[in-house]
Amino acid sequence: MPFGVDITDQKLHRDMQEESWRYYTQCIRRQIYSGICFRDAYCFGEYNPFAQSFLPPRIRDDMNPHRVKFKFECSATVTEVLKFRTISINGELFLSDVLDALRKRSNVKVIQRRFDSLENVTALTEGIVFNCLGLGAGKLFRDDKIVPIKGQLLYLKPQPDINSFMFGQGNYGRFSVYPLGNKLAIGLTYEKGKGDLILEEDVLEKYKAVLGEFYQEHGVLVF
Ligand SMILES: Cc1cc2nc3c(=O)[nH]c(=O)nc-3n(C[C@H](O)[C@H](O)[C@H](O)COP(=O)(O)OP(=O)(O)OC[C@H]3O[C@@H](n4cnc5c(N)ncnc54)[C@H](O)[C@@H]3O)c2cc1C
């Protein structure tokens, strides 16, 4: 599900989504790698990821966004929410499986190394180089179009009853909740232009305030 997308070429965007959806649904069907599964998602309040995305119709049909009545077990409040199905990837499990699969192939050599300068890259003897350095690419290629976005996740103990994505947007702000391996992750902050890895302790208070207000409206607090 593309959330924070900054891409102007709509055809390229559609092609990337088609390819990605095709690949990961195949991985799930064939059970090639662990850590990938379909998961239901529930959007509360004004949050509607389909409103401004350029999803190809075939993927949208697969995701089947529709309105349902929703009530938490411990609450009397019934709310109408947008429900859809999407793909969940636990990066830790998935990437370690991909690496294992590569290592098993006799013609693939895995080397871990740091690239401190562009010369390190141009000195490679390989014919094709894929740049997957993420934020690090901006520094190495002196590309100021690469801008960081800082987010902080809050990890809670797993809660077996919460096995779907939950997204909320309202007077309380915006947040997401999802199971991630042996934890429950909550995401809330999204700060464009910030690239440091400093943990800001006051974020916890922000989370409590947002989820507290959500609780007032819908009757469940995931803390
Ligand atoms: C809090 C938070 C929550 C997020 N939640 C989600 C989510 O729920 N779903 C989602 O789809 N996305 C999410 N994202 C975004 C997602 O993490 C990134 O889009 C994704 O990790 C980018 O993948 P990548 O492989 O391009 O880059 P990265 O994952 O950043 O990988 C780049 C790798 O290159 C290495 N590297 C960099 N420079 C060098 C160098 N000079 N030499 C050698 N190695 C180098 C880095 O160490 C890193 O391992 C989230 C991001 C944040 C911060």
**What confidence tens digit (pLDDT) does each residue in 51-82 have?**
877 789 999 999 999 999 998 877 888 999 99
Give the number of domains in the chain.
2
Same domain, yes or no: 104 and 50: no
Q: Are residues 125 and 171 in the same domain?
A: no
Say if 5 falls within a structural domain.
no
Q: Do 79 and 157 share a domain, yes or no? A: yes
Task: Verify whether ligand 1 is closer than 6 Å to residue 195 (CB atom).
Answer: no
Residue 210: give the domain boundaries: 10-94+147-218
Q: Is residue 182 domain-resident?
A: yes
Q: Could you give the percent of the chain with pLDDT greater than 70?
A: 97
Q: Tell me: do 20 and 62 sit in the same domain.
A: yes
Residues 161 and 124 in one domain: no
Check pocket membership of 115 for ligand 1, CB cut-off 6 A.
yes
For β-strands 165-170 and 36-45, DSSP reports them as parallel
Pair 37, 74 in one domain = yes
Cα torsion at 11, 14, 18, 24 (round to 10°)? 130
Q: What is the pLDDT of residue 161?
A: 80
Dist. CA 34–CA 91, nearest whole Å:
10
Tens digit of each residue's pLDDT (9 = 90 or more) over 93-127: 999 999 999 999 888 888 999 999 999 999 999 99
First to last CA, the chain: 25
- Other Cβ atoms less than 10 A from the Cβ of 173: the count is 17
Same domain for 132 and 22: no
Mutate to test the pocket of ligand 1, among 133, 183, 191 (most ligand atoms within 8 A of CB): 133
- Contacts of residue 91, Cβ cutoff 8 Å, sequence gap at least 6: 35
DSSP states along 84-113: EEEEEE-HHHHHHHHHHHHHHSTT------
Shared domain check, 101 and 71: no
- Mean pLDDT across the chain, nearest whole number? 90
Residue 150 CA: nearest ligand 1 atom is 53
Q: Are residues 76 and 125 in the same domain?
A: no
Cβ(134) to ligand 1 under 6 A? yes
Query: What percentage of the chain has pLDDT greater than the value 90?
Result: 61
Picking from 83-97, 122-136, 162-176, which range would have the lowest pLDDT averaged per residue? 162-176
